[in-house]
Amino acid sequence: MELMRSVIRSLREIVKLRHIIFELTKKDIQLRYLGSYLGILWAFVQPTINILILWFVFQVGFKSMPVDNFPFILWLMAGMVPWMFFSDSVTNATTSIIENGYLVKKVVFKVSILPLIKILSSLFIHVFFILLLFIMFWVYGFGFQIYYLQVFYYLIASVLLVLGISWITSALIVFLKDIGQIVGMLLQFLFWLTPIFWSFKILPPNYHFVVKLNPLYYIVEGYRNAFIYHKWFWEEPKLTFYFWILTFLVIIIGGSLFKKLRPHFSDVI
């Protein structure tokens, strides 16, 4: 119970510091692309090019057929968009503490918001791709559906999951530099374990349970349920319950670990 109360206090402090978080997030976005000719446009150009390359390889090269009567590019985008946010935010949030050593050494600064700032920077870009999804479905002749709105539910779910993970990884990397490489390898493994390029339906039923243990399955399939299959999240009560129990456990573990290691950050950085 004490751990739960500690995490709740941390979340309340984040709400109180929302104006500082907003300003630091804006500054982070500006600094990330400072000095390049295209500036912040690179945040949108690079992911778009990656999607187009993957679409060309699978749609044109391998001549991938429509999935569940939906154009492959739409099916692929619905899975790639949440993955890009997860991957980008976890990667950047992991190094948020060691990149801001000068802030860590300030006693009055709330260091736990540093991973959140990186997550919100990635969220800014993610919202653009969500809007792009709406536009693409409209261009392909699929009109607006009320189901589309639940994508924002999955967005909140993604942010909370990433926040818990980033509290763990950003705290550990201060003492173990190899965490950065480990996170990169785990993300690669997780990418292919999650049904982004392949349909969950191709697996034998015996393996469905194993895949559903991956919390990203809930997010990726959630985006597809919103845009393609028109299915509400509460229609999967067991999976929803499992995801939120796991997410809250990750937040509690991450928050307690971060709090325990925080006093030693300035000694190591």
What is the DSSP code string of 157-186? Answer: HHHHHHHHHHHHHHHHHHH-TTHHHHHHHH
Of 122, 101, 151, the C-alpha closest to 25 is 122
Confidence of residue 238 (pLDDT cuts 50, 70, 90): very high
pLDDT at res. 91: 92
Q: 201: which 2 tokens?
A: 């339906």
Radius of gyration of the chain (CA): 19
pLDDT at res. 223: 94
Question: Per mean pLDDT, which of 123-127, 153-157, 256-260 is the most reliable?
Answer: 153-157
Alpha-carbon distance of 218 to 213, in angstroms, equals 9
pLDDT at res. 24: 75
In this prediction the pTM is: 0.85
Of 170, 165, 130, the C-alpha closest to 150 is 130
**Chain position carrying tokens 């539910």:** 153
Alpha-carbon distance of 231 to 222, in angstroms, equals 8
Q: Above 90 in pLDDT, residue 218?
A: yes
Alpha-carbon distance of 20 to 13, in angstroms, equals 11
Q: SS3 of 144, please?
A: coil
- Answer with the residue of higher pLDDT: 124 or 221: 221
Per DSSP (E only), the strands in 108-221 are: none
pLDDT at res. 242: 95
* pLDDT (tens digit per residue) in 169-209: 999 998 888 888 999 999 999 988 888 887 777 778 888 88
Q: Above 60 in pLDDT, residue 34?
A: no
* pLDDT (tens digit per residue) in 38-94: 556 666 677 677 777 766 776 666 666 667 778 888 888 888 899 999 999 999 999
Evaluate whether 34 touches 40 at the Cβ level (below 8 Å).
Answer: no
Buried b (16+ CB within 10 A) or exposed e, 137-167: beeeebeeeebbebbeebbebbbbbbbbbbb
> Which residue type does 130 have?
I
Q: What average pLDDT does this structure show over 118-123?
A: 88
Give pairs for 232-241: CB < 8 Å, separation 24+.
232/147, 232/150, 233/150, 233/153, 233/154, 239/212
% of the chain beyond a pLDDT of 90: 28
Q: 112: which 2 tokens?
A: 């736990």
Q: Would you give the end-to-end CA distance of the chain in angstroms?
A: 32
pLDDT at res. 216: 93
Question: Per mean pLDDT, which of 32-36, 105-109, 166-170 is the most reliable?
Answer: 166-170
Alpha-carbon distance of 229 to 16, in angstroms, equals 39
Of 138, 171, 143, the C-alpha closest to 10 is 171
DSSP state of 67: B
- Answer with the residue of higher pLDDT: 233 or 125: 233
